[in-house]
Amino acid sequence: MSQFSYQDGVLHAEGVSLAAIAEQYGTPTYVYSKAQLLANFDSYQNACAGRDALVCYAMKANSNLAVLNLLARRGAGFDIVSGGELLRVIAAGGDAKKVIFSGVGKTVAEMRLALEHDILCFNVESIPELHRLNDVAGSMGKKARVSLRVNPNVDAKTHPYIATGLKANKFGVAYTDALETYRTAAKLPHLDVAGIDCHIGSQLLDDAPLLEALDRLIELIDQLDAEGIHLHHLDLGGGLGIDYGDEEDSAPVPVGDYLGRVFARIDAWRKERYDGKPIKVCFEPGRSIVGDTGVLVTRVEFLKHGEEKNFCIVDAAMNDMARPALYQAWMDMQPVVQSKADVATYDVVGPVCESGDWLARDRALSVEAGDLLAMKTAGAYGMTMASNYNTRGRAAELIVDGTQVHVVRQRENPADLFALESIIK
């Protein structure tokens, strides 16, 4: 059940009017629902109940400290891709021992930082990274727990920019090279080979590719076990999609259904090959936890009618929400206050000096200058991908809890943007 609904013709986040929020806090503003966030996370936790499983939130989707803190208090682990993200987890009160470090370009400094905080595991993506991590751990007198991110060459059938499991992608170790790479890792003295990982892509509405990837990992685990390389955990990554409101797309697979099929497959395999001995299972969901927890509220500045196009010019822009310009992503756009104005077809665009600065195309809207619009399902890859292009301050972030509103990130002002710059004298 969505926590964003119309009440007396006005769109609300839980018990608070988005119109009242815009009046008090200005626009553009990200507004998140605490109840929706926790319900989404609980859908994973509940499906894992009674099992040795860890849900590691992929924080690149939304790394606000308040979001991280709420999830940490719920028992979440975290999937990170930089040293900065690890420091965010710690600042938010998260447990570093529940952190998995992914990414193809980990620096020496980032490896040292992660080892100092005794993270759960490094998802290693190449042989050169194995050797670097072994050297760094040895210099610190430590052993680094590792899993290999294996690229199973499974087509996720998603946008090419967010497909990560094919041979042509930069991520992971090729499936055909994985066995030999594990042999290399097992011989390095400062590495502890702990698990296996894969992540084939994002915004997957069908779990068939994920289950195909699982089958390929199971085959590899059996081969490794026969060679005396025994893995302790299996990490299936994330990737489950959400409903962005595009009628052309089918509904996403429910989390419980997907995890139920995963555990049934794992249970049958462990019973057949390992006398029922369990294996720890990790997941790295991001978008499916935070995507529908947020909206981006924006105000209409002008309506511009042209020969070929009508433009609804708003105060949010591609620097606030990059997904449409970057991925040609479809995101639902709704009026905050239901209007009786004439309906017309508009491209919703921002003030940034780029033709690529659009948020929605060819939308039938009943709207007038000064009205408010809410860009739905904006909780993932909104603020984390935001920029200061055109010297635009990034939006404020708020979390609504029932009838309470919490400012969890102040709006940037121009002075903030050049505070770290200096003039040559």
**Which residues does the annotation mark as catalytic?**
353
Determine the Cα–Cα distance for residues 98 and 185; give it in Å rounded to an integer.
Answer: 22
Give CA–CA dist 272/78, Å, rounded.
Answer: 32
- Within 71-181, strands assigned E span 77-80, 99-101, 121-124, 144-151, 173-174
The full length of the chain comes to 425
**DSSP secondary structure of 198-243:** ---BS-BS-SHHHHHHHHHHHHHHHHHHHTT----EEE----B---
57 is in an annotated binding site: no
Task: Determine if residue 287 is labeled as part of a ligand binding site.
Answer: yes
Please name the helix (run of DSSP H) or strand (run of DSSP E) that holds residue 53, with its range, or none. Answer: strand 53-58
Q: What would the two tokens of residue 256 be?
A: 């419980």
The crossing angle, in degrees rounded to 10, of helices 175-187 and 208-226 is 40
The CA distances from residue 55 to 52, 282, 401, in Å, are 10, 6, 23
381 is in an annotated binding site: yes
Binding residue per annotation — 284?
A: yes
Q: Which two structure tokens, joined as six digits, stand for 144?
A: 């680094």
* Residue 357 CB partners (closer than 8 Å, separation 6+): 317, 318, 325, 349, 350, 351
Task: State the Rg of the chain over Cα.
Answer: 23
Is 161 part of any known ligand binding site? no
Tokens of 11: 């769109």
Residue with tokens 């629902």: 33
216 annotated ligand-binding residue:
no
Phi, psi of 21 (to 5 degrees): -65, -45
258 labelled binding-site residue: no
Binding site as annotated, residues: 239, 284-287, 323, 327, 354, 381
Binding site as annotated, residues for pyridoxal 5'-phosphate: 239, 284-287, 381
Binding site as annotated, residues for substrate: 287, 323, 327, 354, 381
